Amino acid sequence: MDLQAILDGIGAEMAAAPERGRVADYIPELARVSVDHFGMAVCTADGQTFTAGEATTPFSIQSISKVFTLAIALGRLGDQLWGRVGREPSGLAFNSMIQLEHERGIPRNPFINAGAIVVTDAILAGHQPRELLGEILRFLREAAGDDDIHINRAVAASEQAHGHRNLALAHFMAAHGNLLHAPELTCGTYFHQCAIEMSALQLARAGRFLMGGADGGRILTPARRRRINALMMTCGHYDGSGEFAYRVGLPGKSGVGGGILAVAPGRASIAVWSPGLNAQGNSQLGTLAVERLTRATGWSVFG
Amino acid sequence: MDLQAILDGIGAEMAAAPERGRVADYIPELARVSVDHFGMAVCTADGQTFTAGEATTPFSIQSISKVFTLAIALGRLGDQLWGRVGREPSGLAFNSMIQLEHERGIPRNPFINAGAIVVTDAILAGHQPRELLGEILRFLREAAGDDDIHINRAVAASEQAHGHRNLALAHFMAAHGNLLHAPELTCGTYFHQCAIEMSALQLARAGRFLMGGADGGRILTPARRRRINALMMTCGHYDGSGEFAYRVGLPGKSGVGGGILAVAPGRASIAVWSPGLNAQGNSQLGTLAVERLTRATGWSVFG
Amino acid sequence: MDLQAILDGIGAEMAAAPERGRVADYIPELARVSVDHFGMAVCTADGQTFTAGEATTPFSIQSISKVFTLAIALGRLGDQLWGRVGREPSGLAFNSMIQLEHERGIPRNPFINAGAIVVTDAILAGHQPRELLGEILRFLREAAGDDDIHINRAVAASEQAHGHRNLALAHFMAAHGNLLHAPELTCGTYFHQCAIEMSALQLARAGRFLMGGADGGRILTPARRRRINALMMTCGHYDGSGEFAYRVGLPGKSGVGGGILAVAPGRASIAVWSPGLNAQGNSQLGTLAVERLTRATGWSVFG
Amino acid sequence: MDLQAILDGIGAEMAAAPERGRVADYIPELARVSVDHFGMAVCTADGQTFTAGEATTPFSIQSISKVFTLAIALGRLGDQLWGRVGREPSGLAFNSMIQLEHERGIPRNPFINAGAIVVTDAILAGHQPRELLGEILRFLREAAGDDDIHINRAVAASEQAHGHRNLALAHFMAAHGNLLHAPELTCGTYFHQCAIEMSALQLARAGRFLMGGADGGRILTPARRRRINALMMTCGHYDGSGEFAYRVGLPGKSGVGGGILAVAPGRASIAVWSPGLNAQGNSQLGTLAVERLTRATGWSVFG
Q: Which of C98, C165, C171 sits opposite B98 (nearest CB)?
A: C98
D246 inside 8 A of chain C by CB: yes
Residue C18's contacts (CB-CB under 8 Å, 6 or more residues apart) are none
Residue B178 sits in the same domain as residue B85:
yes
| pTM of the predicted model as reported, rounded to 2 decimal places | 0.94
B190 is catalytic: yes
Residue B12 sits in the same domain as residue B82:
no
Q: Which residue out of D88, D208, D232 would a mutagenesis test of the C interface target, given it has the greatest number of C Cβ atoms within 10 Å? A: D88
Cβ contact B301–A227 (<8 Å): no
**D300 carries a ligand binding annotation:** no
Residue A67 sits in the same domain as residue A182:
yes
Residue A290 sits in the same domain as residue A203:
yes
Q: Which residue out of C167, C176, C178 would a mutagenesis test of the B interface target, given it has the greatest number of B Cβ atoms within 10 Å? A: C167
C290 inside 8 A of chain D by CB: no
Burial of B263 (0-12, 13-18, 19+ CB in 10 A): buried
Beta-strand pair C268-273/C259-264 = antiparallel
Residues A159-186 pLDDT 10s: 999 999 999 999 999 999 999 999 999 9
Quick one: pLDDT at residue B261? 98
The reply to whether A290 falls in a domain is yes
CA separation, residue B149 to residues A139, A252, B49, B197 (Å): 55, 40, 19, 6
Cβ contact C168–B171 (<8 Å): yes
Written as one letter, the residue type at D293 is L
| Residue A66 and residue A113 in contact, taking contact as beta carbons nearer than 8 Å | no
Quick one: pLDDT at residue D217? 62
Q: For chain B, positions 257-276, list CB contacts with chain A under 8 A.
A: 263, 265-266
The reply to whether C302 falls in a domain is no
Quick one: pLDDT at residue B103? 82
pLDDT reading at D96 higher than 90: no
Q: Among B256, B263, B272, B290, which one carries the catalytic annotation?
A: B256
Residue C75 sits in the same domain as residue C191:
yes
CA distance C249 to C260: 14
| Residue A70 and residue A78 in contact, taking contact as beta carbons nearer than 8 Å | no
C79 inside 8 A of chain D by CB: no
Beta bridge partners of B53: B39
pLDDT reading at B215 higher than 70: no
pLDDT band, residue B216 (cuts 50/70/90): low
Quick one: pLDDT at residue A134? 98
Quick one: pLDDT at residue A12? 98
| Three-class secondary structure of residue A236 per DSSP | coil
Residue B134 sits in the same domain as residue B214:
no
Query: Span A126-130, mean pLDDT?
Result: 94
Query: Span B13-20, mean pLDDT?
Result: 96
CA distance B191 to B124: 13
Q: Which of B211, B212, B233 sits opposite A245 (nearest CB)?
A: B233
The reply to whether C303 falls in a domain is no
Nearest of C35, C69, C37 to residue C191 by alpha carbon: C69
Query: How many domains does one find in chain A?
Result: 2
Cβ contact C88–D242 (<8 Å): yes
Quick one: pLDDT at residue A99? 80
CA separation, residue B293 to residues B9, B240, B247, B262, D263 (Å): 10, 19, 11, 11, 70
Query: DSSP readout, chain B?
Result: --HHHHHHHHHHHHHH-S---B---SSHHHHTS-TT--EEEEEETTS-EEEEESTT--EE-GGGHHHHHHHHHHHHHGGGGGGTS--S---STTHHHHHHHHTTT--S-TTSHHHHHHHHHHHHTTS-HHHHHHHHHHHHHHHHT-S--EE-HHHHHHHHHT-HHHHHHHHHHHHTT--SS-HHHHHHHHHHHHTEEE-HHHHHHHTGGGT-STTHHHHS-HHHHHHHHHHHHHHTTGGGHHHHHHHT-S-EEE-TTSEEEEEETTTEEEEEE---B-TTSSBHHHHHHHHHHHHHHT--TT-
Residues of chain B positioned with their CB less than 8 A from the CB of C170: 168
pLDDT reading at A10 higher than 80: yes
Residues of chain D positioned with their CB less than 8 A from the CB of C251: 302
A63 is catalytic: yes
Q: Which residue out of A70, A82, A88, A98 would a mutagenesis test of the B interface target, given it has the greatest number of B Cβ atoms within 10 Å? A: A88
Q: Which of C95, C101, C165 sits opposite B172 (nearest CB)?
A: C165
Residues of chain B positioned with their CB less than 8 A from the CB of A227: 246, 302
Q: Which residue of A has its CA nearest to D97?
A: A97
Binding residues of A for substrate: 63, 113, 159, 166, 190, 238, 256
Q: Which of C91, C226, C300 sits opposite D303 (nearest CB)?
A: C226
Quick one: pLDDT at residue A155? 97
CA distance A150 to A146: 11
pLDDT band, residue B7 (cuts 50/70/90): very high
Residues B255-299 pLDDT 10s: 999 999 999 999 999 999 999 999 999 999 999 999 999 999 999
Quick one: pLDDT at residue C90? 84
User: Among residues of chain A, what percentage have pLDDT more than 90?
Assistant: 89
Q: Which of C242, C263, C266 sits opposite D87 (nearest CB)?
A: C242
Binding residues of A: 63, 113, 159, 166, 190, 238, 256
Residue-number span of the structural domain to which A278 is assigned = 3-61+197-297
pLDDT reading at C95 higher than 90: no
Residue D74 sits in the same domain as residue D164:
yes
Instruction: Give the end of a domain, one of C196, C223, C257.
Output: C196
Beta bridge partners of C271: C41, C261
Query: Span C201-218, mean pLDDT?
Result: 85
pLDDT reading at D220 higher than 90: no
Q: Which residue of D has its CA nearest to C265?
A: D303
Mean pLDDT of chain A: 94
Cβ contact D167–A171 (<8 Å): yes
- Chains in touch with A (3+ beta-carbon pairs under 8 Å) read B, D
Instruction: Give the end of a domain, one of A169, A196, A223.
Output: A196
| Complex-level ipTM | 0.93
Query: Span A218-239, mean pLDDT?
Result: 92
Quick one: pLDDT at residue B97? 75
- Chains in touch with B (3+ beta-carbon pairs under 8 Å) read A, C
Would you tell me how many other CB atoms lie within 10 Å of the CB of residue B177? 10
Residue C191 sits in the same domain as residue C73:
yes
D180 inside 8 A of chain A by CB: no
Residues A65-95 pLDDT 10s: 999 999 999 999 999 999 999 999 987 665 6
Instruction: Give the end of a domain, one of C140, C162, C196.
Output: C196
Query: Span C16-28, mean pLDDT?
Result: 95
pLDDT band, residue A246 (cuts 50/70/90): very high
Query: Span A43-72, mean pLDDT?
Result: 97
pLDDT reading at B214 higher than 80: no
Strands of the sheet containing A59-60, edge to edge, are: A59-60, A196-198, A150-151
Quick one: pLDDT at residue D100? 85
Residue A144's contacts (CB-CB under 8 Å, 6 or more residues apart) are A198, A202, A203, A205, A206
| Three-class secondary structure of residue D194 per DSSP | helix
More confident residue, D239 or D301: D301
DSSP A21: -
Residues C119-129 pLDDT 10s: 999 999 989 99
The reply to whether B303 falls in a domain is no
Residues of chain B positioned with their CB less than 8 A from the CB of C164: 171-172, 174-175, 183
Quick one: pLDDT at residue C214? 55
| Residue A105 and residue A173 in contact, taking contact as beta carbons nearer than 8 Å | yes
Residues of chain A positioned with their CB less than 8 A from the CB of B88: 89, 91, 239-243
The reply to whether C257 falls in a domain is yes
Q: Which residue out of C92, C117, C172 would a mutagenesis test of the B interface target, given it has the greatest number of B Cβ atoms within 10 Å? A: C172
Residue B154's contacts (CB-CB under 8 Å, 6 or more residues apart) are B29
Quick one: pLDDT at residue B152? 98
Residues of chain D positioned with their CB less than 8 A from the CB of A92: none
Q: Which helix (H) or strand (E) segment is C138 a member of? A: helix C129-144
CA distance D152 to D271: 20
Q: Which residue out of C209, C280, C302 would a mutagenesis test of the D interface target, given it has the greatest number of D Cβ atoms within 10 Å? A: C302
**D26 carries a ligand binding annotation:** no
Residues of chain D positioned with their CB less than 8 A from the CB of C253: none
D164 inside 8 A of chain A by CB: yes
Residue C192 sits in the same domain as residue C205:
no
pLDDT band, residue B94 (cuts 50/70/90): low
pLDDT reading at C97 higher than 90: no
The reply to whether D141 falls in a domain is yes
Query: Span A231-239, mean pLDDT?
Result: 94
Strands of the sheet containing B150-151, edge to edge, are: B59-60, B196-198, B150-151
Q: Which residue of B has its CA nearest to A93?
A: B91
D303 inside 8 A of chain C by CB: yes
| Residue A289 and residue A39 in contact, taking contact as beta carbons nearer than 8 Å | no
Distance from CA of residue C193 to its chain's centroid?
A: 11
Burial of D188 (0-12, 13-18, 19+ CB in 10 A): buried
Residues of chain B positioned with their CB less than 8 A from the CB of A207: none
A253 is catalytic: no
D167 inside 8 A of chain A by CB: yes
At residue C104's C-alpha, the angle toward residues C164 and C81, to 5°, is 85
Q: Which residue of A has its CA nearest to D95?
A: A98
Residues D273-285 pLDDT 10s: 999 999 999 999 9
A169 inside 8 A of chain D by CB: yes
Residue D149 sits in the same domain as residue D187:
yes
pLDDT reading at C195 higher than 80: yes
Quick one: pLDDT at residue A220? 85
Q: Where are the beta strands (DSSP E) in C208-267?
A: 252-254, 259-264
pLDDT reading at A126 higher than 90: no
User: Among residues of chain C, what percentage have pLDDT more than 90?
Assistant: 89
Q: Which of B94, B168, B183 sits opposite C102 (nearest CB)?
A: B94
The reply to whether D303 falls in a domain is no
Residue B71 sits in the same domain as residue B190:
yes
Backbone torsions φ then ψ of C50, nearest 5 degrees:
-130, 145
Q: Which of C86, C211, C302 sits opposite D303 (nearest CB)?
A: C211
| Residue B159 and residue B131 in contact, taking contact as beta carbons nearer than 8 Å | no
| Three-class secondary structure of residue A70 per DSSP | helix
pLDDT band, residue D94 (cuts 50/70/90): low
Looking up residue B53, the CATH number of its domain turns out to be: 3.40.710.10
C88 inside 8 A of chain D by CB: yes
B222 inside 8 A of chain A by CB: yes
Residue B185 sits in the same domain as residue B97:
yes
DSSP A261: E
Instruction: Compute the 3-state secondary structure of chain D and give helix, strand, coil in percent, each to the nearest 5.
Output: 55, 10, 35
Residues D180-216 pLDDT 10s: 999 999 999 999 999 999 999 999 999 999 998 755 5
The reply to whether A303 falls in a domain is no
